[in-house]
Amino acid sequence: MAKTVRNKVAWIVFVLLAIGIGLYPLIYLFATDDFGLLLSKSKELLASDIWNLAFYGHISFGGLALLSGWSQFSKKLRAKHLNLHRTLGKIYVISVLISGLCGVYIGFFATGGLVSSLGFISLGLVWLFTTVVAYVGVKRKDMSLHQGMMIYSYAACFAAVTLRIWLPLLTLVLGEFLTAYRIVAWLCWVPNILFAYIWVRRKGITLV
C-alpha cells in the first residue's frame, strides 16, 4: 500500500513538473523585456535573427515535447486511447527534432563558454539520437527498442526540468552563476540518463 501511494505521488509530481516547465516558455514569448538567460547574452547575439529563431524554436518546441511526452508513459492512455497515444507520440517526435536541432545550434553560443557548450550540444545530440531510434523501433514494430529509447529520450527532455531545479541551488551554494551554469550544463541531463539506464534494466527491456 505504501509503495502504491509513493508511486502515485511520484507520478503526480512528475506530471506537474513536466506541465509546469512545459508552459514556462510562454514567459519568454510574452515578456516585453529580456528575461532569464537572455540577460546573460550579448547585444550582438540578441540582434541575430538566426540565433533568435533557433532560441525560440528550441524553447517553444521543447516545451511542447515536455507537454506531450509525459503522456506516453501512461498505461491507461495507451490501453484506452491508442490513437491519441500515437498522435501525441508523433507530436513529441516532431517537437524533439525541431527543438533538438535548434538546441544543438544555440549550444555553440552557450553562456559559460566551451564547458557549457559541450554539455548542451551533447544533450541535444543524445536527445535527437534516442528519439529517432525510438521512432525507428515503433515503425519496425520493435516495441522493446521503442519503449527503452523513449525512456532515454524523455530523460533527456526532462533536463529542462532538472536544470531549473539544480541551477538556483548551485548558484546559491557556490555564490556564482557562471560556475553553477557550467556544472548544470552536464548535471541537468547526465544523472537523468543514468536513471533511465537503471529504469530500463529493471523493466528488463532489451535494446539490441
pLDDT tens for 67-79 read 999 888 888 888 8
The mean pLDDT value for 148-173 works out to 96
The residues spanned by each domain of the chain are 2-32+39-202
Contact yes or no for 89/40 (Cβ under 8 A): no
pLDDT tens for 24-72 read 888 877 776 666 777 778 889 988 999 999 999 999 999 999 999 988 8
pLDDT tens for 75-124 read 888 888 888 988 999 999 999 999 999 999 999 999 999 999 999 999 99
Q: Which three cell numbers stand for residue 119?
A: 554539455
What is the reported pTM? 0.91
Q: Which three cell numbers stand for residue 203?
A: 523493466
DSSP 8-state class, residue 32 = S
- DSSP calls for 102-151: HHHHHHTT-TTSHHHHHHHHHHHHHHHHHHHHHHHHHHTT-HHHHHHHHH
The separation between CA 56 and the C-alpha centre of its own chain, rounded to angstroms, equals 15
Nearest to 171 by CA among 111, 114, 125: 111
